[in-house]
Amino acid sequence: MASVPAAPAPVRHIDTAERRARLARRHLLADPPRAVDPTAVAEALVALHSTDPATVFLSVAARSTAAASDIEKALYDERSLVRMFGMRRTVFVLPAALVPIVHSSTTAAIAAKERTEMLKLGFGTEPGATVAAAWLDEVEASVVAHLASLTDATGAELAELEPRLRAAVVYGVGTKWETEQTASMRVLRKLSMEGSIVRGRPRGTWTSSQYRWAAAAPQPDLPVPEARADLVRAWLAAFGPGTEADIKWWTGWTLGNVRSALKTIGAAAVSLDGGDTGYVLPDDVSPLSAESAAAPTPPRAALLPALDPTPMGWQQRDWYLEPSFRTSLFDRSGNVGPTVWWQGRVIGGWAQRADGSVVWRLLEDAGREAESAVAAEAERTAAWIGDVRVTPRFRTPLERELVAP
């Protein structure tokens, strides 16, 4: 049995206080929100979670003064931000420059698995039969050809042009997840994974997930090891120090792939409170700058939305999240709800009520300064959201309690 290679000896210790300071500064949570371009916000966080469309907008709003229209412009007009499947089969919004890196390192393999699953489902045939690969190829080519001549189209509009998209099968026969799926949903999802098409402007507000579809710009195919190294490099710049377990969880890769990428970029090992070994970029070993280290992180409260990339950035969260808070702030599947942050750590949660007001609750006594700052940030968040109503896709116990009559 092959032995697991030993981790390199840590070169420095980074304690929890420094990790929190790094988080606050690098995730744009240390200073008051300012005029930061939405794409720059995404770059600071590597990627914005988009399983819940509202997360993208509220994550940017928590860190900048950008309006919803600025984010929509970046997403749908300039295409400096791109919505696509990525790590852990999750939908993210990525800076355009990162798209080929995520595609080659992660999404291409997911697309191949999706095709295998589709060929087993039997679209347009008896349940359980195997559909011919040629049928799938023809339908996909037809969709891409139609979108090439259109600005964009909904799934229903594409089904009018390509009726085979209406073919349906029963998925999960005999299980509690049994449901009917149309070819439209699976074909469009797979084409987006392959980078042939891209989600466009939704039919409703910025909280809607009923997207239109458009042809995607061709992306270069990068060598997979190189792309993995580039993605881990970006992650460490934003989230480091992180452990191998953190990176494995965030990327969805095997431990071997994670270790190979760390070796390629020459990541430096550091020791962490609790005895874990973390990794940082080779030029990020030194403590925070003298200016940053001379004064504590400026007091600033932040209200982050459900599934925000900061609380979802690490698998091991005890250094910024009190373990006893988990039952209030996470659902049973591990999805985080809206959180209140202070000095690089979670101190409570928040929600928006039906009347538009933003309400919050602290789960610890953080002091009067923190309470005052949270109250001010809640007012700012409510004003930013305006007339829109936001209900997280994954409800958590505290969020439900806060909006209850």
Asked if the structure places residue 304 within a domain, the reply is: no
pLDDT in tens, 59-95: 999 999 999 999 999 999 999 999 999 999 999 999 9
Asked if the structure places residue 161 within a domain, the reply is: yes
Q: Is 371 left (phi over 0), alpha (psi -120 to 50) or beta?
A: alpha
Asked if the structure places residue 137 within a domain, the reply is: yes
What residues make up the domain containing 120? 97-215
| Residue 332 exposed, middle or buried by CB count within 10 Å (0-12, 13-18, 19+) | exposed
Asked if the structure places residue 164 within a domain, the reply is: yes
pLDDT in tens, 134-183: 888 999 999 999 999 999 999 999 999 999 999 887 777 778 777 888 88
Would the pLDDT of 264 be above 50?
yes
Q: Residue 34: its pLDDT value, please?
A: 86
Number of domains forming the structure of the chain: 1
Asked if the structure places residue 183 within a domain, the reply is: yes
Q: Strands 13-14, 268-272: parallel, antiparallel or unpaired by DSSP?
A: parallel
pLDDT in tens, 238-260: 999 999 999 999 999 999 999 99
pLDDT in tens, 16-46: 999 999 999 999 999 888 888 999 999 999 9
Asked if the structure places residue 308 within a domain, the reply is: no
Asked if the structure places residue 117 within a domain, the reply is: yes
Would the pLDDT of 291 be above 50?
no
The overall pTM is greater than 0.95: no
Q: Residue 395: its pLDDT value, please?
A: 96
pLDDT in tens, 380-396: 999 999 999 999 999 99
Would the pLDDT of 294 be above 60?
no
What would the mean pLDDT of 1-9 be, rounded to a whole number? 58
Instruction: Give percent of the chain above pLDDT 90.
Output: 79
Asked if the structure places residue 237 within a domain, the reply is: no
Would the pLDDT of 129 be above 70?
no
Residue 142 CA to residue 164 CA, distance in Å, equals 10
For residue 241, whether the previous peptide bond is cis, meaning omega lies within 30 degrees of 0, is yes
